[in-house]
Amino acid sequence: MEVNYQPTREGFNKWVHKYNVDIHEGVFEWVNNGENDDIFSGDPPEKQGPWGTARSVMTMSALLNAAKRQFMLDINNSVVFANVAGAVGVGKASSYAEHEKMAHMLPTYDEVVQSPTRAKLPPPDRSDAIMVVTHRLANKMKSKDAEKVVTYVKRLPKAFGVPFVKMMLARDRDLFLNEHVGAWSRENADVLAVVNTIKVK
C-alpha cells in the first residue's frame, strides 16, 4: 500500500497551535499571508538547491529566533539573510525580507486593543497586508480582548472574517463561546458557518 503525505497550510497551523510550536512570529505571519501556497504544493524547483517547504520554513524560523534572541539581529543583517537563503532559497528569503518591511508598518495586537476604532488599517489594495493583520490578531486574541479585537476586524473587508475566525478557533476553540464572537457571527453568515462547525467539548 502506498501512502502519500501532502502538507497543507491548515494542517501546518493546527500543528503549530496544538503543540505550542516555538515558531518565529514573523515567519508564521509570512506563511499565512496568502502568497506562499507553493510551500505546501510539494513540487520541487526545476533547479536543484534550497527551496521553501514546511520543514525548511521551520529551519528558517529557528535561524531567525536564534538571531533575534542571541544577537538582536533580523533578516536585514547580511549573515542572517545568507543563512535563511541557505534554508529556503534566495527567492523566499527576499520575499520574507519584504514581508518584514510591510509587517512593521501594521498595527500590533496591543495597539488594536488599545484603540480598535482608530488603529491603523492596512491599505485596502494589499490583501497580503490585510491577511497578516488578520492572522496576527487571531493568533493572539484573548477572551477579555474579544470585543475590541472584533471591533477592529469588522473594519476590515468582510471576506477576511472567515480566515480570522478559523485561525482563532484553531488556536483556542473555547473562544467560540465568547459573547462578542457570538454576536459578530450572527451578523456575518460566513463567520457563523465556521463557528457552527465547532462542537462543545
Residue 51 pLDDT more than 60?
Answer: yes
Please tell me the predicted confidence (pLDDT) of residue 151.
96
Please tell me the predicted confidence (pLDDT) of residue 91.
93
> Which of 69, 86, 67 is closest to 77 using CA atoms?
67
pLDDT digits (tens, 9 = 90+) for 1-46: 666 667 888 889 888 988 889 999 999 999 987 778 889 876 777 7
pLDDT digits (tens, 9 = 90+) for 142-198: 999 999 999 999 999 988 988 898 888 888 888 888 999 888 888 887 777 776 676
